[in-house]
Amino acid sequence: MKNHSKTTSDLQKCTKCGLNNHSVNECRAPKWRIDKFNKKKNKQTTEQNQSEKTKVFHLEVSKTSNVLQIKEKQKNEEDSDDSWFLDSGCTHHMTKNEKILFEINPTNFTVIGPIEETKTSTTKKGKIKLNCLINSTVNPVTFKDVLLVPTLRKNLISVQKICEAGAEVEFSKEKATVRFEKEILFIAKLDESKLFKIQLKGEKKNERKVETNQISIQTWHERLGHLSEKTMKQMSEKRIIEDLKINKKEKLDFCEVCNKGKQTRSKYDKKLKRTTKEIGEIIHSDVAGPISPESHGGAKYFVSFIDDFSRKSFVFFMK
């Protein structure tokens, strides 16, 4: 006789609770199990939709232009070279860019990867200087014993090393604040990749360009100490000042400050011009005093008379 009993693999999977030992019509699962299965199914559907959108996006980029992909990759690499992240997991400060290190010393240290246990040996360490931005104020901070790890993806600042140096790290919802002796050293804000990115000078370069492109030549004239129009346009062409862009056709308006501040005095005549033609026509007189000590005769004042034509002078004492 044939055995007609159904095994677990023969039964259809229940679409109500997700178990394999019964059909939908025979399902007697409790409500909590059904809710758990529906939640898991919705999560899988959402992840699948997101992965499909990602695949379509990459496909469109590759079809449109390979150059766009290369440029995007280079941009990300540049960001990772210049950007620094505060990491509570790493035990040392680390960077992959040897150019920013100074006072480099040899070392023998092995770095273990955070995800896979891949070991990377590093033979150099040094110091770095970061211009940290705190509410538009630049605060230069120097970090020592920074390991050079060529295979590193992002530059990392170790929370452990900061705390060992006596500083305090305070994490909040969207930022981390590092203080030393109650003074703020730097601030790290949560970015799109959910990492705490240290705020550095020059991070918002593109935003500054949008703002400075709208600055008039008159504003630049006042900011640069009332420079001339010709000098400012030469500086703009040679790119001496970052973000200084002046249109060649733009003209500088009349500046009242420059007009008053750059006025010059007329020269005095070197030759003396006499207006008198005879003695006694004009007499210059002046009184001086009181004078201390008194003269031997007890006078405290004197009066002078000078003839303008002959320059003859007379002095008389007065009490």
- Residue 214 — very low, low, confident or very high, per pLDDT cuts 50/70/90? low
What pTM was computed for the model? 0.40
The mean per-residue pLDDT over the stretch 254-279 comes to 81
226 token code pair: 């009332």
The mean per-residue pLDDT over the stretch 81-85 comes to 82
Quickly list DSSP for 68-132.
HHHHHHHHHHHHHHH-EEEESS-SS-EES-GGG-EEEEEEEEEEEPSSS--EEEEEEEEEEEEEE
Residues 45-70 pLDDT 10s:
776 665 544 333 332 333 333 333 33
CATH, range 81-203 = 2.40.70
Model pLDDT, residue 306: 92
**Residues 121/108, Cβ–Cβ less than 8 Å:** yes
Q: Which residue has the tokens 């420059």?
A: 258
In angstroms, the CA 70 to CA 61 distance is 11
Q: Where are the domains of the chain?
A: 81-203, 206-261, 283-318
